[in-house]
Structure 1
Amino acid sequence: MGFVIRWIFAFVLLTATYNPTEWNYVRWSMANYETSLSLTVLFGLVLLIGYIIYLRATLRSIGIFGMILILAVVGTILWVLFDQGVMSFEDPSINTWIGIFALSLVLAIGLSWSIVRRKLTGQADMDDVDE
């Protein structure tokens, strides 16, 4: 259940930033930055904090190679679904949603990996401490 919650928050973070609908930060800020600059900056900073939390945890737990590996697995699954005729990539908005889904999986796995590793191996990840 914890992974699902982490994935939902990652998905919400990514979709709040950008999605194919008109309801996202990028489009709202482009339309309203002149009249609502303070709100645009505030919402942008809140989103930035969310990205820093997710990206820092993901980079510390699985690293760049792990992120690329997860994206490769998701991409290969999509390739298989396309090759078997289950999925089509004709609609650009569906492609955007697929990309958001894939990136949210990477962030959720990265945030959850330390917990999974500890349960599998019994070893805890610790931050490096300078003494």
Structure 2
Amino acid sequence: MGFLTRWFFAFTLLALTFNPTQYNYVNWVRDYGSMNLSIAVLLALILCVGYIIYLRATLRSIGAGGMVLVLAIVGALIWVLYDLGVLRLDNKSLNVWLGLITLSFVLGIGLSWSHVRRAVSGQSDVDDIDD
């Protein structure tokens, strides 16, 4: 499973939760959640499991500082693209998609970082186990 696969699943998790279209969990719960409360709770728990997996792995591999650094790099890239006239930021829907791509990039890097570190340094990350 490569970086693109991990990134794609992170993007899918974020986009299923919220995106600028009408097809997302937040809009569905707002419109139909009260009629289907059991399904809404089940889907919320499934989404929570996905977020726990990604956030825990990201925090363990790159930490909060690494997350901020990746966000800053992607933010600087967006700034450069805007300054060069490649990107316009007057479309709210596009801005939401950019935010989803940025956050999914952070989560994808977080989930992949241990693999990158092992390939570059030859060292493996291990979990601390308290006996």
TM over 0.5: yes
Runs of 4+ aligned residues of structure 1 deviating over 3 Å after TM superposition are none
Q: Look up the match of 1:113.
A: 113
Letter in 2 for 1:30: R
Q: Which residue of 2 aligns with 1:96?
A: 96
Amino acid at match of 1:26: V
Alignment of 1:35-74 (within 5 A): 35-74=35-74
The offset of 1:35, in angstroms, is 0.7
**Cα deviation, residue 86, structure 1:** 0.7
CA drift at 1:34:
1.4
TM-score normalised per structure 1? 0.98
2:8 corresponds to which residue? 8
Match of 1:129 in 2: 129
Question: 2:129 is aligned with what amino acid?
Answer: V
Deviation track 1:95-115 (CA, whole Å, cap 9, x = no partner) reads 000000000000000000000
The runs of 5 or more residues in structure 1 that have no matched partner are none
RMSD of Structure 2 on Structure 1 (CA): 0.7
Paired with 1:130 and 1:39, the residues of 2 have a C-alpha distance of: 38
AA in 1 matched with 2:44: G
Q: For 1:100, give the aligned amino acid.
A: L
**How many residues are treated as equivalent by the alignment?**
131
Structure 2 residue ranges without an equivalent (≥5)? none
Matched, 1:22 2:7: no
Whole-angstrom distance in 2 between the partners of 1:21 and 1:117: 37
1:130 to partner: Cα distance = 1.1
Which residue matches 1:83? 83
- Aligned-pair distance for 1:44? 0.5
Structure 2 distance, partners of 1:19, 1:34, is: 21
CA drift of 1:33 comes to 1.7
